[in-house]
Amino acid sequence: MTDQSINPAIFTWDGPHGLPRFGAIRDEDFKSAFDRALEAHNAEIDGIANNPEAPTFANTITALEIAGDELSRVSALFWNKAGADTNDTIQHLEREISPAMSRHYSAIGQNEPLFKRIDALWENREALGLTNEELRVLERHWKGFVKSGAKLPKDRQQRLAAINEALSSLGTNFGQNVLADEKNWFLLLSTEDELAGLPDFVRDAMAAAAAARGETGKYAVTLSRSIIEPFLTFSNRRDLREQAFSAWSARGENPGPTDNREIIAETVALRAEKAGLLGYPHYAALKLDNTMAKTAENVNALLMQVWEKARRRALEEEADLARIIAEEGRNHAVAPWDWRHYAEKLRSRTYNFSESELKPYLQLEKIIEACFAVAERLFGVRAVRRSDVAGYHPDVRVYEIRDAGDTLVALFMGDYFARASKRSGAWMSAFQSQHRLPLKNGAKGEIPIIYNVCNFAKPAAGSPALLSIDDARTLFHEFGHGLHGMLSNVTYPSVSGTSVSRDFVELPSQLYEHWLTVPEILKTYALHYETGAPMPEELLQKVLAARTFNAGFNTVEFTSSALVDMAFHTRPAGGDPMVLTADVLAEIGMPSSITMRHRTPHFAHVFSGDGYSAGYYSYMWSEVLDADAFDAFMETGNPFNAETASRLKENIYSVGGSIDPEDAYKAFRGKLPSPEAMLKKKGLAA
């Protein structure tokens, strides 16, 4: 391999403010770039491990923190492409790169001379005069090596490395299978009878989806949440709702090459074996070791406390829906493909407004403005659009994030519209994390380059994108994650931004959602897309009153998924994963009218990689925190109270993982919360 085989644009980011020149990078460039980056990182690791000088924090830990710059850059570019704009070439390479990266990091984690240096520092940590952040960084490296098998005998190290490699491949295949099922299924409609009940905004989104598939003049129901959910909500055709829901529900469970059930069984078994090798009773114990929850018992206690209240409420809601069905002269029970449809009718009846009445006031452009405006009022940062700067896809918008003194503190990209090449859901990630360390290229530190990915239905040319209230919350949620990355103010990259425990990482994002429904924000930014008129006060009050509507359904959807996740990672592995799923749902009394928010065969949070495995509960754990945190503002009488916002920025959004999350929260709030504020927010308090 020669340097001529390498595209320098992958490693040298010389676009505006140090952005990559995305247009100069081809899919075919990644393979050789990974080869070079892996080789370069190995050389750096060898240099650190075999340094003849005695280990110090600087020559070992700091050196590890800045090593692998080229690998970080090619990885950031590649995994962004794999998630947000993939194709056959990228997917083929992903199946090759995932196990290669696993092998690479297993070898580092089991590098004996390197671990000896880290272990020596850890054993002598009290005498090193480290700052609190440095101690956290040292602890993170030491624990990471231990969990990579650094203390295991050689044969167990080899088995652990093989397990990690296999899990990496399984996670890649799982995600690609779900994407294939989502991409390949759509339901074409054309007659007025088939479209009965669908408002114009749903028809417009379906028409755009059909046109994107070469079916101009028709209407496509796709498995993008921004189309399937409104279709299930408004369609009068029960047979079509059932057909669409069945396809949505069956992602990853269709017989053939995209069937994920075997992958799940193998994944669960390998995770259990991995936990055993490392001395843990089950995989959840391994994953919860460094979290606020600490144990599976604590997690399940919270989930079951909420489950009982949510299930009771959901059964009451189901009875209300059944009455509407009976009033219409129908004799069927409430099925999962009925719930959204009749819940919308119930909401319209109870609160005298419908989603179709609300949606014209929720323009994507104005909700983006609202996100930015809240950030400026709370944290003193503003977003400046750079229409002249290209993102990684034509739909991507690029922004400078500047502070009150007009200093550039971050770059932000928004990628908002669904496309067949993008995996479903919404997420935040980073091309580059904030830190202050001097680098080998002479730079001192780096600013964060953060992006949000959503899957809103793309409107026809010339038409505005209109959001549901849930879509708008999603946008605020992901921008909350984005702010966690962009406001980071730490020295070391491994504790930057969202590098916190899994059950703390959702606090900044879920907390930020609260400002969407602050009346002042809705009055200012919820403007009718045709008239520009603000949302009428009467409608605003109805929206605020309905915030806990359907709370039983929403909480049952989530909590059942979290309980199944914990069961997979605490119970003995083996057997059909769908049988275990059914057993858990039977044990907790899952209503037949509701399904898990993420059914097991497409539960990407848990099986498409390791991110939220034994960790899906963390949304609820963080929700306990976010409800209490927002109360801190409301107790002042001002949702933008400057002193509270300053404490929030200083102790939560800017510190990353540089201090313990419990200490961070108590520094902000003075205490740890109980679940009561969360239950009250959901409308489930006794």
Q: What pLDDT digit, counting tens, does each position of 287-340 carry?
A: 999 999 999 999 999 999 999 999 999 999 999 999 999 999 999 999 999 999
Helices (H), 517-592: 519-525, 537-545, 551-568, 577-588
Q: Reduce the DSSP state of residue 295 to 3 states and report it.
A: coil
Strands 427-432 and 435-438: unpaired
CA distance 256 to 543: 44
Q: Indicate the class that CATH gives domain 3-109+111-151.
A: mainly alpha
For the chain, give every residue range classified as CATH 3.40.390.10.
360-502
Strands 408-417 and 397-402: antiparallel
Would you say residue 409 has pLDDT above 60?
yes
Instruction: Encode pLDDT of 451-508 as tens digits.
Output: 999 999 999 888 999 999 999 999 999 999 999 999 999 999 999 999 999 999 999 9
* Predicted pLDDT of residue 686: 67
- Reading the block at residue 493, the tokens are 């990259």
Confirm if 491 and 660 have CB atoms less than 8 A apart: no
What is the average pLDDT across 206-212?
A: 94
Q: Quickly tell me which residue has 């997979």 as its tokens.
A: 568
Q: What's the fold here for domain 360-502?
A: Collagenase (Catalytic Domain) (3.40.390)
For the chain, report the end-to-end CA distance as a whole number of angstroms.
67
CA distance 260 to 255: 9
Instruction: Encode pLDDT of 546-595 as tens digits.
Output: 999 999 999 999 999 999 999 999 999 999 999 999 999 999 999 999 99
The letter for the amino acid at 597 is: R
- Taking residue 122's Cβ as centre, other Cβ atoms within 10 Å add up to 19
Residue 1 confidence class, pLDDT cut points 50, 70, 90: very low
Q: Reduce the DSSP state of residue 487 to 3 states and report it.
A: coil
Proportion of the chain above pLDDT 70, given as a percent: 99
The letter for the amino acid at 41 is: H
CA distance 511 to 65: 30
With residues binned 3-state (H G I as helix, E B as strand, rest as coil), the percentages for the chain, rounded to 5, are 60, 10, 35
- Reading the block at residue 584, the tokens are 């858990």
Which of 364, 456, 462, 375 shows the shortest CA–CA distance to 412?
A: 375
Instruction: Encode pLDDT of 264-299 as tens digits.
Output: 999 999 999 999 999 999 999 999 999 999 999 999
* Predicted pLDDT of residue 5: 85
Q: What is the pTM of this model?
A: 0.95
CA distance 220 to 321: 28
Q: Reduce the DSSP state of residue 437 to 3 states and report it.
A: strand
CA 548 to chain centre: 23
Q: Reduce the DSSP state of residue 445 to 3 states and report it.
A: strand
Which of 60, 456, 50, 484 shows the shortest CA–CA distance to 228?
A: 456
- Taking residue 200's Cβ as centre, other Cβ atoms within 10 Å add up to 13
Strands 408-417 and 449-456: parallel
Would you say residue 219 has pLDDT above 60?
yes
Proportion of the chain above pLDDT 90, given as a percent: 96
* Predicted pLDDT of residue 441: 81
CA distance 416 to 458: 8
Which of 559, 663, 560, 570 shows the shortest CA–CA distance to 619?
A: 559
Crossing angle for the helix pair 551-568 and 296-327, to the nearest 10 degrees:
140
* Predicted pLDDT of residue 324: 98
- Reading the block at residue 156, the tokens are 């167990």
Across-strand partners of 188?
A: 220
Task: Return the sign of the alpha-carbon dihedral for residues 192, 197, 203, 209.
Answer: negative
**Residues near 52 by beta carbon (within 8 Å), at least 6 away in sequence:** none
* Predicted pLDDT of residue 440: 84
Would you say residue 196 has pLDDT above 50?
yes
CA distance 450 to 383: 13
What is the average pLDDT across 357-369?
A: 96
Would you say residue 2 has pLDDT above 60?
no
Task: Return the sign of the alpha-carbon dihedral for residues 182, 413, 510, 354.
Answer: negative
Burial pattern 464-503, b for ≥16 Cβ within 10 A else e, equals: bbbbbbebbbbbbbbbbbbbbbbbbbbbbbbbbbbbbbbb
DSSP state letter for 111: -
**Residues near 225 by beta carbon (within 8 Å), at least 6 away in sequence:** 424, 425, 455
CA distance 515 to 504: 19
363 burial level (CB within 10 Å; 0-12, 13-18, 19+): buried
What is the average pLDDT across 77-106?
A: 97
- Reading the block at residue 125, the tokens are 């940590």
Confirm if 377 and 462 have CB atoms less than 8 A apart: no
606 burial level (CB within 10 Å; 0-12, 13-18, 19+): buried
Q: Reduce the DSSP state of residue 601 to 3 states and report it.
A: helix
Residue 3 confidence class, pLDDT cut points 50, 70, 90: low
Indicate which residues carry an active-site annotation: 478
For the chain, give every residue range classified as CATH 1.10.1370.40.
3-109+111-151
